[in-house]
Amino acid sequence: MNTDEWTQTLGAGPLLGIAAGAIAVLLFLIIKLKVHAFLALVTVSAATAFATGIPAGEVIDTLTDGFGSTLASVALLVGLGAILGRLVEVSGGARALTDALIRRFGEDRAPLALGIASLIFGFPIFFDAGLVVMLPIVFSVARRLGGGVLRYGLPAAGAFSVMHIYVPPHPGPVAASGLLGADVGLVIAFGLLIAIPTWFVTSYLFGVWAGKNIVLPVPNILTGGKQEDDERDENPPKPGTVVWLLLLPLVLIFTDTGLNTAGSAGWLDEDAGWFQVARAIGSTPIALLITVFVAMYVLGTRRGRGKETLEKLVDSALGPVCSIILITGAGGMFGGVLRASGIGDALSDAMSDLGLPVIVAAYLIATVLRIAQGSATVALTTAAGLVQPLVLGGSFNGVELAALVLALAAGSVTAGHVNDSGFWLVGRFFGMDVKTTLKTWTVMQTTIGLMGFALSSAVFVLA
């Protein structure tokens, strides 16, 4: 027997009560009893699985499936990104690029410069991969200028978030566009029109404000636990070299995106061997792996660092991020249990019967799914499937369809909390406890969703 064959018999009310109780217990364990987040997440995930009636014989598989599927997408990216960040940090490259940014933009506009750079990087690269690649620059700027890490980190993280949610070629909006029959080109155009002002208000302005009110020290996670790294080169690489290294995975990933588009349009033979190899090279994990080896040569071997030194640098990069990887995987486990239990499906079915305008229903269903099970991509694609009959049964023009996709995207990012692996990724990398992450990241994600919905509704009404 597996959970695909099992039918949930509990109604939306009891399921909602179980979900709310599970989240309350989780917060109590972590905040009040100071239980380690990894242990608390695993414990509450198991208890929730039993409470929602998942067959006892399938509980372990449900837990490990949620844990493993999250690690499959996160562990490689975080590990490889941490190695790249460590190499850039120790070589002095992060400091060199920081100095160049400050000279060009000035100290007061450093958060703005980091955010704009993250918007550009975030166009083809996934949220978690982009964030990890940018971290050494964010941390270096924060150390140099002071004022705490959130002042610089939140605008950058928010930039990756809005691009990942609203703009193809990221998987959520692409899948929703396909389900609703929206033109991807229009979704990109209006996605950018919504994402950029949304980022400026909800991530840049809010991030700078939050950073002034909550001043946190810069984490030492990329420096092997040392505040001042004794191994840093006295003669750092040129800023252009660092930019080139940071752009390399972006170029490889963007090549994969272009090949995928060309293959889908019939311009190239998708079955050709070279096509498949080229796409594999452009996949995010392989692109980062290639970049790490190039960085090891450019920032290490070519600058006189021996093989043993490089091995120690790699090892020192991986140790500190193991906790983050495990906690993120456990957050994915909790979200997986909530998905398997049918909590999200029950709530979305109840929402779909309210008779709301289609764009409001789309946003609310995606929001409910997001809050219930955590994953923004799952919330977006699932909500798109639920509203698909309403959309296909109506007569919507191309702009209205694009606006519906973006309203779904807005709902899928709203109120990210403890069942979202991204919540733990951002919180742990920035050295925040759960309460601080809720006050900053969750609030920021909610405002990203609300403003995105307001703008997409305006596009829908004016179309």
Same domain, 163 and 272: yes
Same domain, 84 and 114: yes
Q: Directed axis angle between helix 273-282 and helix 284-298, to 10°?
A: 70
pLDDT given at position 75: 81
Same domain, 154 and 17: no
Give how many domains the chain has, as a whole number.
Answer: 2
Chain centroid to Cα 315, Å, comes to 25
Residue 100 lies in a domain: yes
pLDDT given at position 353: 63
Residue 450 lies in a domain: no
Same domain, 90 and 116: yes
pLDDT given at position 347: 64
pLDDT given at position 211: 94
Task: Say if CB 106 and CB 147 are below 8 A apart.
Answer: no
Same domain, 284 and 148: yes
Burial of residue 14 (number of CB atoms within 10 Å: 0-12, 13-18, 19+):
middle
Burial of residue 202 (number of CB atoms within 10 Å: 0-12, 13-18, 19+):
buried
Residue 259 lies in a domain: yes
Residue 316 lies in a domain: yes
Phi, psi for 186 (deg, rounded to 5): -65, -35
Same domain, 17 and 156: no
Burial of residue 114 (number of CB atoms within 10 Å: 0-12, 13-18, 19+):
buried
Report how far residue 393's alpha carbon sits from residue 416's, in angstroms, rounded to the nearest whole number: 31
**Residues belonging to the chain:** 463
Residue 433 lies in a domain: no
Residue 283 lies in a domain: yes
Report how far residue 364's alpha carbon sits from residue 362's, in angstroms, rounded to the nearest whole number: 6
Q: Which residues contact 109 (CB under 8 A, 6 or more apart)?
A: none
Q: Which residues contact 222 (CB under 8 A, 6 or more apart)?
A: 82, 85, 86, 89, 135, 136, 139, 317, 320
Chain centroid to Cα 25, Å, comes to 25
pLDDT given at position 201: 97
Helices (H), 205-306: 206-213, 239-264, 273-282, 284-298
Amino acid in the structure at residue 439: K
Sign of CA pseudo-dihedral 321, 326, 327, 328: positive
Same domain, 274 and 139: yes
Report how far residue 245's alpha carbon sits from residue 460's, in angstroms, rounded to the nearest whole number: 41
Give the closest residue to 23 by CA, choosing from 40, 10, 3. 40
Residue where one domain finishes, among candidates 284, 306, 329? 329
Neighbours of 388 (CB within 10 A): 14
Residue 90 lies in a domain: yes
Print pLDDT tens along the chain (463 aa): 455 567 777 877 788 788 888 878 888 888 788 888 889 889 988 999 999 888 888 899 989 988 888 788 678 877 887 788 788 878 887 778 777 877 888 888 899 988 988 888 787 677 877 788 788 889 988 988 889 999 999 999 999 999 989 987 677 887 788 878 888 778 888 999 999 999 999 999 999 999 999 999 998 876 654 544 445 556 788 888 888 887 888 788 778 777 877 887 778 888 888 888 888 888 878 888 999 999 999 988 888 888 888 888 888 878 777 877 887 788 778 878 877 887 766 666 666 566 678 899 889 988 988 887 777 877 787 778 778 767 776 788 989 999 999 999 999 999 888 888 889 889 988 999 999 999 999 999 999 999 999 999 999 999 7
Report how far residue 391's alpha carbon sits from residue 361's, in angstroms, rounded to the nearest whole number: 11
Residue where one domain finishes, among candidates 278, 297, 329? 329
Report how far residue 298's alpha carbon sits from residue 309's, in angstroms, rounded to the nearest whole number: 14
Residue where one domain finishes, among candidates 306, 329, 352? 329
Same domain, 33 and 154: no
pLDDT given at position 53: 87
Q: Directed axis angle between helix 421-429 and helix 56-90, to 10°?
A: 30
Same domain, 246 and 292: yes
Task: Say if CB 249 and CB 243 are below 8 A apart.
Answer: no
pLDDT given at position 227: 45
Same domain, 43 and 74: no
Residue 205 lies in a domain: no
Same domain, 132 and 270: yes
What is the domain extent for residue 262? 69-167+233-329
pLDDT given at position 232: 53
Kindly write down the DSSP assignment for every residue of 194-206, as one continuous string: HHHHHHIIIIIIH
Report helix, strand or coil for 232. coil
Report how far residue 291's alpha carbon sits from residue 84's, in angstroms, rounded to the nearest whole number: 8
Same domain, 259 and 124: yes
Query: What's this model's pTM, rounded to 2 decimal places?
Result: 0.73
